[in-house]
Amino acid sequence: MRFGLQIPNFTLGGPPERLFDEVVDLAVAAEGAGYDSVWVMDHFYQLPPLGGPTQPMLEAYTLLGGLAARTSRVKLGALVTGVTYRNPAHLAKIVTTLDIVSGGRAILGIGAAWYDVEHDGLGFTFPDAPERLSRLEEALQICRAMFTETSPTFDGEYYRIHEAWNVPPPLQGGGPAILIGGGGEKRTLKLVAKYGDYCNFFGDAATVAHKVKVLRSHCEAVGRDPSEVTVSRLSTLVLTENDEETASTMAFLKEVAGDDASAYNVGTEDELVAQVEELAAAGVEYFIFNMPTSTAASVHRLGEVLIRSFPD
């Protein structure tokens, strides 16, 4: 069982000139506590539950390159890259460069994108969902080819490359692992079965168990061993000291982000461990948590709790 930290917000209290150092502090704390990975969102506007477009947001891959230079062990990725934001060949080059800079620690997280307000504001085309998923499939093929082939050619409906050199190639054999975000059962999970090394789900244990079952059926349909795909889950985590704090925290989260309690893991140390055990039994192998109000000290404490409770 492995754990990752997603850094979802950059409203950290300091002046802009301190912002990167504050983010580094979180990443270094995660690495020191034994987390396997550090992730950032691929957004240009902050999301509404965390304050919206007026709040700070750093570009994902520029930031990941900086974190690569300040860390030494954790894997690094965007959870997840919006397929609409970058030409896939350009994205493959970006992620390859991250792999080089980090010494072979890059992961490509990618999905079909969803934040229409951001697209409208910055002038990105926002096709309908079927087209975005078709673009995602072509992007997955291009990125995989550029990670593994010398000079691939691909001619799709939306994207094309011709003898696309990617020199130097990624350091990781076979290229960076690909994590596909989303739980759509008809198309997204089929793409995971065909192209993904990781998938990322949201939801409670029952939801995850159902998604894992669907994913396995897609893997079997394309002749792939389901164990080749690592199941991850992203949620917001808050460590509390007692039942009263747990109740008040859940009430606050529901007020700002809606009533779906499955998006959160909130509780004392023992309660969080029990929640992780339940989700692991449902099929989660890789837990990615964001902690929007946490400090480096609390990130480190949480990591120690989880690693102590679930050693390799």
Q: Which helix (H) or strand (E) holds 213?
A: helix 205-221
**pLDDT below 70 — which residues of the chain?**
257-259
Q: Quick one: tokens of 254? A: 């529901």
Q: Quote the CA–CA distance of 64 and 68 in Å, as a whole number.
A: 6
Q: What is the pLDDT of residue 155?
A: 98
CATH (one of 3.40.190.80, 3.20.20.30, 1.10.3730.10, 3.40.50.300) for 2-309: 3.20.20.30
Q: Quote the CA–CA distance of 133 and 241 in Å, as a whole number.
A: 43
Q: What is the pLDDT of residue 252?
A: 82
Could you tell me the residue ranges of all domains in the chain? 2-309
What is the maximum span of the chain, computed from C-alpha positions, in angstroms?
Answer: 61
Q: Quick one: tokens of 269? A: 């140390």
Q: What is the pLDDT of residue 116?
A: 96
Q: Quick one: tokens of 137? A: 């499939």
Q: What is the pLDDT of residue 311?
A: 81
Question: Are 154 and 86 a contacting pair, CB within 8 Å?
Answer: no
- Residue 107 exposed, middle or buried by CB count within 10 Å (0-12, 13-18, 19+): buried
Q: Quote the CA–CA distance of 238 and 266 in Å, as a whole number.
A: 5
